[in-house]
Amino acid sequence: MSVLRRPRVGHIEFLNCLPIYWGLMRSGTLADVDLTKAPPDVLNDKLVAGELDVAPISLVEFLRHADELLVLKDIAVTSDGPVLSVNLVHKRPLAELSGCRVALGSTSRTGVLLAQLLLAERYGVRPEYVRGEPDLDVLLADADAAVVIGDVALRAMYEGDHDGLTVTDLGSAWKDWTGLPMVFAVWAARRDYATANPGLVKDVHQAFLRSTALARTELDAVVESAVRWEPFDKAILARYYQALEFDLSDRKVAGLREFARRAAAAGAVPALPAGGPTFFADA
Amino acid sequence: MSVLRRPRVGHIEFLNCLPIYWGLMRSGTLADVDLTKAPPDVLNDKLVAGELDVAPISLVEFLRHADELLVLKDIAVTSDGPVLSVNLVHKRPLAELSGCRVALGSTSRTGVLLAQLLLAERYGVRPEYVRGEPDLDVLLADADAAVVIGDVALRAMYEGDHDGLTVTDLGSAWKDWTGLPMVFAVWAARRDYATANPGLVKDVHQAFLRSTALARTELDAVVESAVRWEPFDKAILARYYQALEFDLSDRKVAGLREFARRAAAAGAVPALPAGGPTFFADA
């Protein structure tokens, strides 16, 4: 008789992670995990609180809790240039936002810090930041710019610049600024859980790698399924899934470290220890 | 651009419905539904409240809301004899329970009514019924018998009669009493939803039929996966999935009608209209 329980695994219920859900389904992994589907901010909190064992976590939240977590290799939400769904939507040029209000959508952690670093360091502006529900109209009702992520952001990008609004893709902006890819989220296991259950974490990690590989080979089918339900046409979805990259290559890790360095210098997160992040060593 | 939303579909997160989850996963259906996994009593309430579009519903709750619902053909939770996981656990013979307390586990609807009908009509006893959390020790702490379902009930059956406790399988008891199979739950669509979205309901129905067929052909794999996580050995799981039947044949419908007739005669539910239940006609 088994005394194991299925690993409690998080899944981002945004369109960006649909290929991963597809892979988890098609690879049969869903039978072996206890999956919680939620927005990224909810998953961040649950992983940090120990209510999940393995989950995607916003890079910023990972950096704040790096001592409790181990990063899984070769899986992340990244882009090497445009990401399409992490956007700063603004009514006036970025360089003219000093003294203006910038509204930060509540579901975003890494996107909002990236926007703040970009505005402060690249454009030298110091707006007033306010938090708000992740609805573009609500955020912009009382602000000159808003940071949005996920399906809301993709919709803004899809509709393009209009009504005096400009959409700045923060993946592109980071690449222009640093020359590096941007890592928006990593997958991490709780260190205590991984120490107690290395075999289970290895299994989950392998399952995620199989899932992302499967999703890549079946991307047309993912798009075919998604287009039936999502308010985006096939061309947009295909472009979106080409922009998003789920690997964590050495260049991506370099991008992660560069973001960590800038974020720590700005006092937003603790410094990443030298040689960090610490990966789950799936020997 | 799509204006559809994925059908909101319920799934019973008990071991009994694991083959159906397996089938939904393996057939790729999970990408096309918005799945809520919950205990059956929660799903009953959500379907009746219109928070789900299609879901399994306890037979008793279906009978109480038959005018709002359409039954999907050829899918149900049934047994033609032992079911192993809908049990009356008792400290004294059933015929001697008059005046005793019988505790009814809160997750069960059809099982508890079946037990009440059986005790009243077959054994002629009138115990005092109390409701309680679905934990056998808690239920029996202050009662002479308890109705439990799902994994709790299967565990009681697996441990067998001991400590002066007898386990009566209510699927067997119904068969002995009436000669008919027992239908514990049916899958139903909300009538308003099915009228507005006949194509989607047809798709979901077909997906469920594909899923149960797939689960039947891959039952060994379902057991292999389940044995890793569930507190039951392979032999028990295999026996359990042989006892459970997910079809809704004419004989099963006859069993459903017989239960509906007896339940209505006892005043527990409204009478099923002649010729009922009303099925979703997937033309």
Tell me the pLDDT tens digit for each residue of B150-166: 989 999 998 877 788 99
B233 in contact with A at a CB cutoff of 8 Å? yes
Question: What does the pLDDT read at residue B1?
Answer: 55
Looking at domain B8-79+182-282, its CATH superfamily turns out to be Periplasmic binding protein-like II (3.40.190.10)
Given a contact cutoff of 8 angstroms between Cβ atoms, the answer to whether A257 and A108 are in contact is no
Closest residue in chain A to residue B29, using alpha carbons only: A25
CB contact under 8 A, A21 and B4: no
The reported pTM is: 0.89
Q: Give the distance from residue A193's alpha carbon to the nearest chain B alpha carbon, in angstroms.
A: 17
Q: Give the strand pairing for A34-38 and B145-149.
A: unpaired
Q: Give the distance from residue A30's alpha carbon to the nearest chain B alpha carbon, in angstroms.
A: 7
Chain A and chain B share a number of CB contacts under 8 A equal to 58
**CATH node for B86-178:** 3.40.190.10
Q: Which residue from B1, B32, B231 is facing A2, i.e. has the nearest CB?
A: B231
Distance from C-alpha of A164 to C-alpha of A91, rounded to nearest angstrom: 6
Q: How many helices (H) and strands (E) does chain B have?
A: 12, 10
Distance from C-alpha of A171 to C-alpha of A168, rounded to nearest angstrom: 9
Residues of B in contact with A237 (CB under 8 A): none
Tell me the pLDDT tens digit for each residue of A200-259: 999 999 999 999 999 999 999 999 999 999 989 999 999 999 999 999 999 999 999 999
- Where are chain B's structural domains? 8-79+182-282, 86-178
Structure tokens of B56? 């399994």
Closest residue in chain A to residue B235, using alpha carbons only: A1
B283 in contact with A at a CB cutoff of 8 Å? no
pLDDT at B283 over 80: no
Q: Which residue from B5, B26, B229 is facing A229, i.e. has the nearest CB?
A: B5
Q: Give the distance from residue A156's alpha carbon to the nearest chain B alpha carbon, in angstroms.
A: 15
Residues of A in contact with B28 (CB under 8 A): 25-26, 225
Tell me the pLDDT tens digit for each residue of A10-67: 999 989 999 999 999 999 999 999 999 999 999 999 999 999 999 999 999 999 999 9
Q: Give the distance from residue A81's alpha carbon to the nearest chain B alpha carbon, in angstroms.
A: 26
Among A87, A77, A61, A93, smallest CA distance to A12 is for A77
Fold equal for B8-79+182-282 and B86-178: yes
In the structure, what pLDDT confidence band is assigned to residue B101 with cuts at 50, 70 and 90?
A: very high
- pLDDT mean across residues, chain B: 94
Distance from C-alpha of B48 to C-alpha of B29, rounded to nearest angstrom: 23
Structure tokens of A135? 């609805």
SS3 content of chain A, % helix, strand, coil (to 5): 50, 20, 30
